[in-house]
Amino acid sequence: MNKEYEIVIIGGGPAGLSAGLYTSRARLSTLLIERGLVGGLITETELVENYPGFPEGISGLELGELMHQQATKYGLETLLAEVTGLELQQGQKIIKTTEGNFTAKAVIIASGSERLKLGVPGEKEFTGKGVSYCATCDAAFFRELPIAVAGGGDVGITEALHLAKFASKVTVIELLPKLGASRILQERAAAEPKIEFRLNTRVEEIEGEEVVKRLKLRQVITGEKATLDVAAIFVSIGIKPNTDYLKGILSLDATGTIITNDKLETNIPGIFAAGDIRHNSVRQAIAAAGDGATAAIYAEKFITE
């Protein structure tokens, strides 16, 4: 028989952990299911400077751990497993996972997003051998070596700044005519002598012998081709919402994020969405945590009313 909970939360990032704190503290039996590292994407950040309450900043890993501790203190149960499907049966929600099935009266979907791939030759072959999607995880492997970052948005520039502490040179490659990162990050990157920029430039191929050696680039306006010798490329070109397991049961927008109303209800009663996975999310930890609280409060109302 499926084990029953009042609330099941899918995803253990800031949205899921904050939702878990609220529902557990409201004395609702709650299971949080996480397939990777509890803490979510923020654990990839060395220093979070914009989460209120930490004037000196806090490491993403520690922030995730503290959130988890706080929710667990009030009774949140955590299961390390992957959710593979969600089904509806007579008002109950069946959550299918790699560790068995669970039943819930309400579900909060907080499964965030994962990094987009470049989709160029060499990317798959050299993943883990110089192609990386996480600077905090892999920067130290490339001390005093030239590296590249694909993508000049907030995440790409944050990663470039972190990588500059290790690498001999960091080349930021951006397809668009200008960087998309916030002004403060752009100012910091401009002041870092190890960081260079190549705008209007596409990565066409990643080449190497066992490990990455060079990138083939193309200037998209002039069509000019170039080769850049690097030991690694960190890909930061955007994200894909983790909604595959929902198999079309919820309304999504064109980018694949879940459409909700302002109570964070989806098109199915008793299913809520919170954090980066939700339509129009600003994709920040504090906003995700706020969403988690909102979804939890309305999920509690859904169950009790």
User: Which residues have a catalytic role annotated?
Assistant: 134, 137-138
1/170 Cα distance (integer angstroms): 54
50/92 Cα distance (integer angstroms): 38
112/214 Cα distance (integer angstroms): 32
Question: Tokens standing for 69?
Answer: 């501790």
Q: Is the Cβ of residue 112 or residue 146 nearer to ligand FAD in the bound state?
A: 112
Q: Least distance from C-beta 275 to ligand FAD, angstroms?
A: 2
56/11 Cα distance (integer angstroms): 28
- Vertex 285, ends 65 and 171: CA angle to 5°? 100
Q: Least distance from C-beta 296 to ligand FAD, angstroms?
A: 13
Q: Is the Cβ of residue 51 or residue 302 nearer to ligand FAD in the bound state?
A: 51
Q: Least distance from C-beta 226 to ligand FAD, angstroms?
A: 27
Backbone angles phi, psi at 63, to 5 degrees: -60, -45
CB 68 within 8 A of CB 39: yes
CB 72 within 8 A of CB 79: no
User: Which residues bind to ligand FAD, rule: CB under 6 A?
Assistant: 10-16, 33-36, 40-42, 44-45, 48, 50-51, 82-83, 110-113, 155, 158-159, 242, 245, 275-277, 283-286, 288
Q: Least distance from C-beta 56 to ligand FAD, angstroms?
A: 14
Q: For the chain, how big is the Rg over CA atoms in Å?
A: 21
Q: How many CB atoms lie within 10 A of CB 174?
A: 23
Burial of 187 (0-12, 13-18, 19+ CB in 10 A): exposed
Q: How many CB atoms lie within 10 A of CB 97?
A: 20
Q: Is the Cβ of residue 83 or residue 118 nearer to ligand FAD in the bound state?
A: 83
CB 181 within 8 A of CB 189: yes
Q: Is the Cβ of residue 75 or residue 238 nearer to ligand FAD in the bound state?
A: 238
* H or E segment to which residue 208 belongs: strand 201-209
Q: Is the Cβ of residue 161 or residue 217 nearer to ligand FAD in the bound state?
A: 161
The CA-atom distances, in angstroms, between 277 and each of 67, 75, 145, 153 are: 19, 25, 35, 18
Q: Is the Cβ of residue 96 or residue 213 nearer to ligand FAD in the bound state?
A: 96
Question: Tokens standing for 98?
Answer: 């790699």
